[in-house]
Amino acid sequence: MTEPRTRPGPRGAAGTDVLPPWAVILHNDDVNEMGYVVQSLLLCVPRLTRTDAVAIMYTAHLHGQARVTICPLELAELYRERLERRGLTATIEPA
């Protein structure tokens, strides 16, 4: 007996869509101390290591902004809101 042939599901079938990535951007400010920014990054974006947080903080300090992470839109919105609640300036943009 031969195996029945299967046909691919319609485009966009459950489990096949990939969410477009979004970048969370931290902007430099003249208000918050560097240690506070690092602590805030660690609290607001759990996937970051201390080394990552320090590098992001210095990049924002030296260049005006730094990419914090790339993730799906809902997670990017959550991270941005968390950072803003701690007094930091953050935005999101398509990655």
pLDDT, block means (10 residues), the chain with 95 residues: 53 66 97 97 98 98 98 98 98 97
Q: What pLDDT score was predicted for residue 85? A: 98
Q: What pLDDT score was predicted for residue 19? A: 83
Distance between CA atoms of residues 37 and 58, nearest Å:
10
Q: Is residue 13 part of a domain?
A: no
Q: Is residue 35 part of a domain?
A: yes
Range of the structural domain that residue 48 is part of: 22-94
What lies within 8 Å, CB to CB, of 70 at 6+ separation is 21, 22, 23, 24, 95
Q: Is residue 15 part of a domain?
A: no
Q: What pLDDT score was predicted for residue 92? A: 98
Q: What pLDDT score was predicted for residue 17? A: 72
Q: What pLDDT score was predicted for residue 3? A: 53
Q: Is residue 3 part of a domain?
A: no
Q: What pLDDT score was predicted for residue 18? A: 82
